[in-house]
Structure 1
Amino acid sequence: MTDPPYNPTTTPVMDSKANKFGHLDIWGFILKFVEVLLSFVAFVLEEVVATCNSCGVLYFFEFVSCTAFLFTLLLFILLASPLHKKVGIGSWDRLDFGYTLLISLLFILASILFLADNSGSDLETGAGVFGLISALVFLANVAYLLLKRRDKIFKTTDKTPSTPPAQVTNPEEEKLRNGENA
């Protein structure tokens, strides 16, 4: 039997290299997911603390853990989906690196301060330990970004071209610029 006269003109193309995790690869996806999970646990444990000796330290830890959870969740959603293409950010790798480094340093500081100055309850200790573990995962992500995407993070763009672009002018535009009548 012969082929039918009208074969379908479009066939689905399956790209084996298509990334199922948006801008992230599998390890970046896992690290971001674990960051979200651990920062959420640290935040919830801190929220359950009923009394505090030094409330300023508790509030600082609360701010850092809540910020880490919410912003990392937002970044995770953007980077793991096609939404990152719709937002006008030029370098997601640079943004991810800077944000992750900043949050890891803040988490280390907040956790150390919180562990050093609390009433010694198991909840406070657990929250501080989860904060330190979160900070270590954030630092692991920083190291991973440095190893895998260093060229994109520290990419410098030279604003001055080595040769001037060729001027292509339209004769009609040239007349308008010179004030000549057509």
Structure 2
Amino acid sequence: MASGTSSEPHFGEAQTPLADRPYQPTTEPAVRDPPGSSSKAYLRSINGLLKIAQVVTSFIAFICVEVVDRCRNCKALYFFEFVSCSVFLISFSLLIIFCFRLNKRFSAINWKLTDEINALLATLFLLIACIVLAVKNSGNSAEIAAVVFGFFALFLFLGSSFFVLLEWKQRAPWSSRSTSSSGPNHNYSRTRSDSHPEQPNQNV
């Protein structure tokens, strides 16, 4: 019969050419990211560039304080040294975490919130340390340079916190809910009114 001589394969016969390598289509990913692409993508982003600039400026401010040999008010100098060193170490650690995507492995920590808190605290403490050292410095060029780079780092942290808050505002859950709740209800009311037109009053 024609059905017996048909050349169309039955169910299951199309998979016979892959019998020698049955696990290849499922175990190997279709697309693989090239090595280092994620690191380059973060370093080229606005947050990555700001983070690099924060690390560099805070490190330069710390180095300028370290080369000071004499101080008129050493407490202000020591406070600035502590703040600049702490800001540099924390920002450098966050840069390494985001650059090598270690935040994906430790997803239990809200790294966006951590970065925002670090930016706000760094802005606050750098503002206090720079003002104190600017008022009570001994006129040394290294101290003046430390204050200048401290203010540079302060504005960079302020810009970083602004961009993080802007990103959170764009991804806010209430904004999507408000738009989705207003649209479907309006469409539903129109559909209901169209499908059930008002009936004339029978009592008249």
Report TM bin, short chain.
0.7 to 0.9
The answer to whether structure 1 residue 52 and structure 2 residue 43 are counterparts is no
CA distance in 2, matches of 1:23, 1:97: 20
- Partner of 1:20: helix, strand, or coil? helix
**TM-score normalised by L of structure 2:** 0.65
Corresponding residue pairs, total: 151
Q: Identify unmatched segments of 5+ residues in structure 1.
A: 157-182
- Check conservation: 1:61, 1:114, Cα contact below 8 A: yes
What are the Cα deviations for residues 24-47 of structure 1, in whole angstroms up to 9, with x where unaligned? 571111111111111000000110
Tell me if the contact between 2:54 and 2:157 (Cα under 8 Å) persists in the aligned partners.
yes
Alignment of 1:30-109 (within 5 A): 30-109=49-128
**Cα gap change, 1:40 to 1:155, in 2 (>3 Å):** farther
Retained in 1: the 8 A contact 2:39–2:99?
A: yes
> Is the 2:126–2:154 Cα contact (8 Å) retained in structure 1?
yes
Q: 1:49 to 1:89 in 2, by over 3 A?
A: farther
SS in 2 for 1:29: helix
Choose which of 123, 136, 139 in structure 2 pairs with 1:117: 136
Distance 1:93 1:101 in 2: 12
**Structure 1 ranges of 4+ moved more than 6 A:** 4-8
Q: Could you say if the C-alpha distance between residues 64 and 11 of structure 1 is closer, same or farther in structure 2, counting changes exceeding 3 Å?
A: closer
TM-score by length of 1: 0.72
Q: Which residue of 2 aligns with 1:13?
A: 31
The structure having more radius of gyration, on CA atoms, is: 2
C-alpha distance after superposition, 1:103-158 (max 9, x if no partner): 11101110111011011111110001100110010001011111112366x879xx
Q: Which residue among 146, 152, 155 is the counterpart of 1:133?
A: 152
The corresponding residue for 1:177 is none
Distance 1:33 1:89, change over 3 A: farther
Q: Secondary structure at the match of 1:52?
A: coil
Structure-2 residue corresponding to 1:164: none
**Percentage of pairs with the same residue:** 32
* C-alpha separation in 1, matches of 2:99 and 2:52: 10
The yes-or-no answer on 1:145 pairing with 2:202 is: no
- 5+ residue gaps, structure 2, are 1-16, 175-204
